[in-house]
A and B are shown apart, each in its own frame.
Chain A
Amino acid sequence: MWSTSDILHVDMDAFFASVEIRRRPALRGLPVVVGGTGNRGVVTSATYEARAFGIRSAMPAMRARALCPHAIFLPGDMQAYAEASRAVMALFREFTPLVEQLSVDEAFLDVSGARRLFGTPEEIAVLIRRRMAAEQQLTCSIGVAPNKFLAKLGSTRAKPDGMIVIPPDGVLEFLHPLPVSALWGVGKRTEESLRRMGLSTVGDVAQASRAMLRAAVGQAAAEHLHELAWGRDSRRVSTERVDKSLGSETTFETDVADAEALRRTILWLSQQVATRARAADTAGRTISVKLRFADFRTITRSRTLHTPTDVAQEIFRTAVELTEAARGGQKLRLIGVRLEGLVEVAGSARQPALDEPEHSWRDAEVATDAVTAKFGRGVVRPASLVKKRPEQGSPARPQT
């Protein structure tokens, strides 16, 4: 079924926290949490010492503090993490050009063509981990397997600071005892549906009849789960992954109901999104907002424009309309703005409207990009953002 195990999934251990410890060695061995320095933030990364107290990513900072009051809470420094990420990815590319970056801190590597240069996939994994520790003072976990799904499972099982090699003839032995939640795409609800049918391990799913699976999770998901349960995943390592969306969100220090304050925050988020879109030569047609209410109920609303945009003013206008229509005057705890359906700005062509002034908002924003590149952030910004800092808690989290 598989000839070789030559896909690697490399996942950095507690990445943001580890980058912090790297520059503050005194913190080594302590519970360190990144994110949520304010009251309301969300944990973005935690060392294994902190995780021992039950602290997890995406947990409200308040709860993390309650779990471990003596943990060290640090504000995020996205710039430093982005830099560290670039160095890590560059290290991977020394071994193979087939690197599919999944996020700032994980990637798939296809090393099938690297055998001659660097040795077997297992030897390459050992080498990567050794060089990561020596050159970056960071640890990572690696899964070596015949395909992406299994490699990712492997690295998860190997965490922290470990590696697992799943040889082709050891796949089922490794896979079948795992709980169904290990299967990609199985969340809480699917897990429950499967359990009701008496399917609790991956092996159970593999042995279950298709009809039974279909009854539990529906036609499409049944096919998908059945394939995975037998360790089959035909996705290739793709280097051309283009982000399909990009967004930015922020959690407020205290819940905000004031429309004017929200507008300022939306403008600020829209600018971040637009600036990043322009920097990446992409534009998106769909604008979505994510709203979290005081009771943690979270909704998203989106609208698709006629033509792709990378203009903050357009994103802002749409995002404000979506927010006000969906909010119904309620207080918000978190707000996010996202640009979706990204396309490359091919040859940077853009269809202006007939009644558009010759010098548009976009021109102004592109000029701002240039000034920012030269003099730093925040030198030029909209008048409404000059005096007041937008309502915000934790630093806006760039997301891909």
Chain B
Amino acid sequence: MKFRVERDALADAVAWTAKSLPSRPSVPVLAGAMLRVTDGRLQVSGFDYEVSNQVDVEVQADADGATLVSGRLLAEITKALPAKPVEMAAVGSHLELVCGSARFTLPTMPVEDYPSLPELPASAGRVDAPTFAAAVAQVAMAAGRDETLPMMTGVRIELSGDKLALLATDRYRLAVREITWAPDDPSIDVNALVPARTLADTAKTLGPLGGEVTIALGGSGGGAGEGMIGFVGGTRRTTSRLLDGQSYPPVRSLFAPSYSSEARVTVPALIEVVKRVALVAEKATPVRLSFSEDGLVVEAGGTEEARASEAMETVVPFTGETMTVAFNPQYLLEGLSALGAPTAVFSFNDPFKPAVITPAGEDGAVIEGFRYLIMPIRVGR
């Protein structure tokens, strides 16, 4: 194997593959980045039995072949290289890398010991890459991090006709985003539970590439790619094992059929106020939002500890009885930031039931497609 490649393209490719490599691999070869040259193209791949990443880079190939080197080390090296063409060649059990006047010799691992990457499941359809990336970013933060509740660590993707819905919850808040996509089969009706971190990383990578992302989903019939999902965008592809989502709770039913009161608040102003007031809120203690005809008062802290309060206006005057709701400030801030809109609409029934936050335009008109459900903190015994 011998080739010449542009430094930036190589560094990007290696950095991306190396990022998902396990830091403590179950077998040493899994810490490797596989470099394979065929037909004038370099394929860089990484795999940890759960997630596989693969990217194609155009190179000037002198000789085909494959080699396996430490992904992390190669990533650090390529990042530090000067902006000059890079020459790489497999020599015996080593990889020689020359860039300008810098020269590296890296030990290689046996290519034949490296597991073969899972096959990409069949394509299910395509979605606009930036839209998909934005949608994933809106919901993924609501997924749980508690490994003892594996189902909550996933983002549920529901594919129904030309609707693509993403749902995530950690049992304390729930984010739902609905977008449209182009299914290969217009009557498709399937869902999949994807590890949230993998999905977030993948979407973050594929979004800026533009174009479309192909979603590939293994059937349940025991064929190739069962229990797998794949994402392809540009020259990059990722596969991930799915989580078992068979008993995923019917979370949509947590939204009430109707809400008795509504408040509209300017998002950037509220985020600032909550951040400021929350400074006195110790871990796991709430910020309290009181909506009344006079506007909104945000408070935190108790009678004996530090206290803070700040008043702000609502976009349209709040009507009805004063509503005081307490939230975990982190959940509230993450929800507000996820709205991606100038105005937030709070919908309530009572201070102890889940509240909904939806995005709205400057004029206060609700923008459909995203809902964030948040369970208030109960204060008092």
Query: Which residues of A pack against B, CB within 8 Å?
Result: 303, 306-308, 343, 346-356, 358, 366
Of A353, A354, A355, which is in contact with the most chain B CB atoms at under 10 Å from its CB?
A: A354
Contact present for A353 and B172 (CB under 8 Å): yes
Q: Quick one: closest B residue to A356, CB to CB? A: B375
Among A352, A354, A366, contact of B378 (Cβ-Cβ < 8 Å): A352
Contact present for A354 and B174 (CB under 8 Å): yes
Lowest 3 A-B CB distances belong to which pairs? A353-B171, A347-B302, A354-B375
Among B170, B254, B375, B378, contact of A349 (Cβ-Cβ < 8 Å): B378
- A and B contact pairs by CB, cutoff 8 A, 16 listed: A306-B170, A306-B172, A346-B284, A347-B379, A348-B379, A349-B285, A350-B378, A351-B328, A351-B375, A351-B378, A352-B375, A354-B169, A354-B172, A354-B173, A354-B174, A355-B254
Residues of B325-373 at the interface with A, using a CB-CB cut-off of 8 Å, are: 326, 328, 352, 354, 373
Known: A306-B171, A347-B302, A354-B174. 13 other contacts (CB 8 A): A307-B284, A343-B283, A346-B284, A346-B305, A347-B285, A349-B285, A351-B172, A351-B375, A352-B375, A354-B172, A354-B354, A354-B373, A355-B171
**1/0 per residue B234-260: CB within 8 Å of A?**
000000000000000101001000000
**1/0 per residue B135-157: CB within 8 Å of A?**
00000000010101000000000
Instruction: Say yes or no for B32: interface residue by CB 8 A criterion.
Output: no
Chain A residues with CB under 8 Å of B379's CB are 347-349
- Interface size for B (C-beta < 8 A) is 30
Chain A residues with CB under 8 Å of B354's CB are 354
Q: How far is the CA of A327 from the CA of B174 in the complex (A)?
A: 37
Contact present for B169 and A350 (CB under 8 Å): no
Contact present for B380 and A351 (CB under 8 Å): no
**1/0 per residue B171-193: CB within 8 Å of A?**
11110000000000000000000
Q: How far is the CA of A348 from the CA of B377 in the complex (A)?
A: 10
Contact present for A346 and B302 (CB under 8 Å): yes
Chain B residues with CB under 8 Å of A349's CB are 284-286, 326, 377-379
Q: How far is the CA of A303 from the CA of B249 in the complex (A)?
A: 24
With both chains docked as a complex, state the minimum distance between the C-beta of A347 and any C-beta of chain B, in angstroms.
4
Given contacts A351-B328, A351-B377, A352-B375, contact A343 B254 (CB under 8 A): no
Chain A residues with CB under 8 Å of B170's CB are 306
Q: Quick one: closest A residue to B253, CB to CB? A: A355
Contact present for B169 and A346 (CB under 8 Å): no
With both chains docked as a complex, state the minimum distance between the C-beta of B279 and any C-beta of chain A, in angstroms.
15
Chain B residues with CB under 8 Å of A358's CB are 352
Contact present for B381 and A346 (CB under 8 Å): no
Query: Which residues of B pack against A, CB within 8 Å?
Result: 144, 146, 148, 169-174, 249, 251, 254, 282-286, 302, 305, 326, 328, 352, 354, 373, 375, 377-381
Chain B residues with CB under 8 Å of A346's CB are 282, 284-285, 302, 305
With both chains docked as a complex, state the minimum distance between the C-beta of B357 and any C-beta of chain A, in angstroms.
14
CB-based A-B contact count at 8 angstroms: 58
Q: Quick one: closest B residue to A366, CB to CB? A: B381
Among A303, A308, A352, contact of B284 (Cβ-Cβ < 8 Å): A308
With both chains docked as a complex, state the minimum distance between the C-beta of A345 and any C-beta of chain B, in angstroms.
9
Q: How far is the CA of A343 from the CA of B377 in the complex (A)?
A: 16
Contact present for A306 and B375 (CB under 8 Å): no
Q: Quick one: closest B residue to A363, CB to CB? A: B381
With both chains docked as a complex, state the minimum distance between the C-beta of A246 and any C-beta of chain B, in angstroms.
19
Q: How far is the CA of A332 from the CA of B52 in the complex (A)?
A: 45
Chain B residues with CB under 8 Å of A347's CB are 285, 302, 379
Chain A residues with CB under 8 Å of B173's CB are 354
Q: Quick one: closest A residue to B327, CB to CB? A: A351
Contact present for A343 and B284 (CB under 8 Å): yes
Q: Quick one: closest B residue to A353, CB to CB? A: B171
Contact present for A354 and B284 (CB under 8 Å): no
Q: How far is the CA of A348 from the CA of B285 in the complex (A)?
A: 9
Q: How far is the CA of A351 from the CA of B282 in the complex (A)?
A: 14
Chain A residues with CB under 8 Å of B282's CB are 346
Contact present for B146 and A306 (CB under 8 Å): yes
Q: How far is the CA of A351 from the CA of B172 in the complex (A)?
A: 8
Chain A residues with CB under 8 Å of B283's CB are 343
Contact present for B377 and A350 (CB under 8 Å): yes
Q: Quick one: closest B residue to A278, CB to CB? A: B381
With both chains docked as a complex, state the minimum distance between the C-beta of B307 and any C-beta of chain A, in angstroms.
11
Contact present for A303 and B377 (CB under 8 Å): no
Q: Quick one: closest B residue to A346, CB to CB? A: B285
Q: How far is the CA of A272 from the CA of B351 in the complex (A)?
A: 32
Q: Quick one: closest B residue to A354, CB to CB? A: B375
Q: How far is the CA of A354 from the CA of B251 in the complex (A)?
A: 9
Q: How far is the CA of A354 from the CA of B373 in the complex (A)?
A: 9
Given contacts A346-B302, A348-B381, contact A353 B148 (CB under 8 A): no
Q: Quick one: closest B residue to A318, CB to CB? A: B148
Q: Quick one: closest B residue to A308, CB to CB? A: B284
Chain B residues with CB under 8 Å of A351's CB are 172, 284, 328, 375, 377-378
With both chains docked as a complex, state the minimum distance between the C-beta of A354 and any C-beta of chain B, in angstroms.
5
Chain A residues with CB under 8 Å of B146's CB are 306
Q: Quick one: closest B residue to A305, CB to CB? A: B146
Chain B residues with CB under 8 Å of A343's CB are 283-284
With both chains docked as a complex, state the minimum distance between the C-beta of A330 and any C-beta of chain B, in angstroms.
23
Q: How far is the CA of A350 from the CA of B172 in the complex (A)?
A: 11
Q: How far is the CA of A384 from the CA of B328 in the complex (A)?
A: 36
